Chains A and B, each alone.
Chain A
Amino acid sequence: MTRNYNPETAPASPNEDNYLTVAMPKGRIFEEALGLLRRAGYELPPEFDDSRKLIIDVPEAELRFILSKPMDVPTYVEHGVADAGVAGKDVMIEEERDVYEVLDLQISECYMAVAALPSYDSKADIAPKIATKYPNLAAGYFREQGEQVEIIKLNGSIELAPLIGLADRIVDIVSTGRTLKENGLVETETMMPITSRFIVNPVSYRMKAERIDDMVERLEKVVEGDGQS
């Protein structure tokens, strides 16, 4: 689904065939998702030789993977340049993209949390400042809690903010809690559990229904099997 007026400048697209384009976050989630796909019976090579590649074609399984930043996966899928993708629930809440969230893959389990220095006193906090990579998610959460806060968007090393006085609290994703501990922060609220989701473009969901339903069904079996064992 290349969206271009000029056929000559449009990138070669495998979509004419039965190819399925799947956007994946680089790194650990990609590896875990590949594991799920292998167990679901997809013929994938044991490892992909060039890890710097951004587009990986797997002709045996008629799959094309697009590797991107985790936060960008829903964007690719919404615009239809990828038929499907794997995205964390944190990213889904932050980005609010118009895509189908069809399956909880139950990989890379973690949760969103509010954290602060142990000395933090919420009653003394008059104009609470929250530092986070997830301004939209954080704003929504505190609004629901009935608390007005000021959000400061950071792109990484969020734990720094309370240590050097940029913000009083942070909102971030937590898997083991080690990073928080090492920086002397404590969790003050657990917000929501996070897992990776299988997401689908609304047009692909109909135009490639057969292939996508098949993939979802096979993945679902693997995921449910894991849940029971």
Chain B
Amino acid sequence: MTKPFMFEKPVGMRDTLPELYLLRQQVRSTVAGEVARWGYAPIATPALEFYDTIGEASATSDTQLFKLLDQQGHTLVLRPDMTAPIARIAASTLEEVQRPARLTYDANVFRAQQREGGKPAEFEQLGVELIGDGTASADGEVIALMIAALKKAELPNFKVAIGHIGFVNTLLREILGTEERADTFRRYLYEKNYVGFKQAVKQLPLSSIDRQRLSGLLNLRGGFDILEDAERLVETEAGAAALGELRALLDVLRAYGLEDEVVIDLNLVMHMSYYTGMVFEAYSDELGFPLGGGGRYDELLEKFHRPEPATGFAVRLDRLTEALGRAKESVTVSYAIVYSNERRTEAMKKAAELREKGQAAVMQDVRGIADLDAYCAQFDNVEYLIGTNGSENSRGGAVL
């Protein structure tokens, strides 16, 4: 590679300029505020972790990990997600903390990508993990909390699709018999390749009933009543148990009054492979990419030698801000006091008054400005405290 130009950044890395920064800060505090009101305690973890622990547990593909070596030669990764680091803490430092534990984080995560723009390699995730509670109420709570936060952020039109990877796994295993075959079909779902799925159904030597059951899986999208169709597809107890979990979850969501925001999509298979039960993803018609998602991951903590159930969500703050960016107008009333030497004390007093009231105020010595008109044009209000008291001096004409 040639030496980068002065202005260049690595692929997928972005700067955040003041306007966007402020908007994102607003969104962040709204979402974080709602999460805090539901009683989730904030924690932070380091950006660098060991490849052998977090890199492994995060289920992010190797090509997407940023790797580096420490001085002892250990391979480190920039954290590709926050769920695995929190599982690490929950299983070690916070092992003794009373369960269920409610934790929240707000952090940048890193996933390398070599493609074109539109997909950052570093992005901010705000999320929660509810650890040590295996009930449908816990699953319902994290979904309801995500929806409450999105509503608080005033996201106009959004939907949350809910699936259940446990149901998909059981049904595939039940029909196909072997884990290997089930894996092929699961991959088609994960790759969103329904055509490939349908072709594979035709090619396998299956009974016509099993064929119908497999193709039937693709139709399990819609409102809460789709569960009745799902019931017709399962034959074993394991399948019925997975559906039972889902039914219990829907009861919780119904109690929260979320029928309008939630759709069922039993084909939803998420990128992170550590999910074991219900999974969900949030969409807005303001953006072409999902805004966030989550699910139940009952086997992840086992990798850190403390098996216990857990569930959670993460919202992509960069995407949520982008989705809101069009919907919301940023309101920044700005105030500048341009002063000259002899009225500095007066200017300071005025600025202090404004700041006391919570109003942002810029103090600028007039001699420091090259083009007064252009400089002042960027503020909504400008107050000139120039020259001797009472008489206005012309630009730059400070009397010494």
Contacts and interface: CB of A to CB of B under 8 A. Distances in A.
Contacts of B325: 4-5
Contacts of B199: 104
Interface string A1-34: 1111101001000010000000000000000000
A132 interface: no
Nearest to A10: B326
B322 interface: yes
A98 B263 CA distance: 21
> A interface, how many residues as a size bin?
20 to 34
A15 B285 contact: yes
Nearest to A15: B285
Contact of B265 (A1, A102, A104, A206): A206
A228 to B, nearest CB: 15
Given A15-B285, A203-B284, A203-B289, A101 B193 contact: yes
B168 to A, nearest CB: 16
B20 interface: yes
Contacts of B289: 79-80, 202-203
Contacts of A186: none
Contacts of A204: 288
A149 interface: no
Given A203-B287, A207-B157, A5 B192 contact: no
B186 interface: no
A2 B195 contact: no
B326 A2 contact: yes
Nearest to A99: B192
Given A98-B192, A101-B193, A207-B159, A1 B285 contact: yes
A90 interface: no
A197 B195 contact: yes
A3 B196 contact: no
Contact of A101 (B19, B196, B286, B288): B196
Interface in A81-109: 81, 98-104
A206 B290 CA distance: 10
B159 A206 contact: yes
Interface in A181-229: 197, 201-204, 206-209, 213
A159 interface: no
B161 interface: yes
Contact of B287 (A1, A98, A102): A1
A78 B195 contact: no
A206 B326 contact: no
A206 B268 CA distance: 11
Interface string B228-266: 000000000000000000000000000000000001010
A202 B322 contact: no
B194 interface: yes
Interface string B147-160: 00000000001010
A96 B265 CA distance: 23
Given A10-B326, A209-B263, A201 B288 contact: yes
Given A197-B195, A206-B263, 16 more contacts: A1-B287, A3-B287, A4-B326, A5-B19, A5-B325, A10-B326, A80-B288, A99-B192, A104-B195, A203-B283, A203-B287, A206-B265, A206-B283, A207-B283, A207-B285, A209-B222
Top 5 nearest A-B pairs by Cβ distance? A80-B288, A203-B283, A100-B192, A207-B285, A5-B325
18 contacts: A1-B285, A1-B288, A2-B326, A3-B288, A4-B325, A5-B20, A5-B322, A7-B326, A10-B326, A79-B118, A99-B192, A101-B192, A101-B194, A103-B194, A104-B195, A203-B287, A206-B265, A209-B221
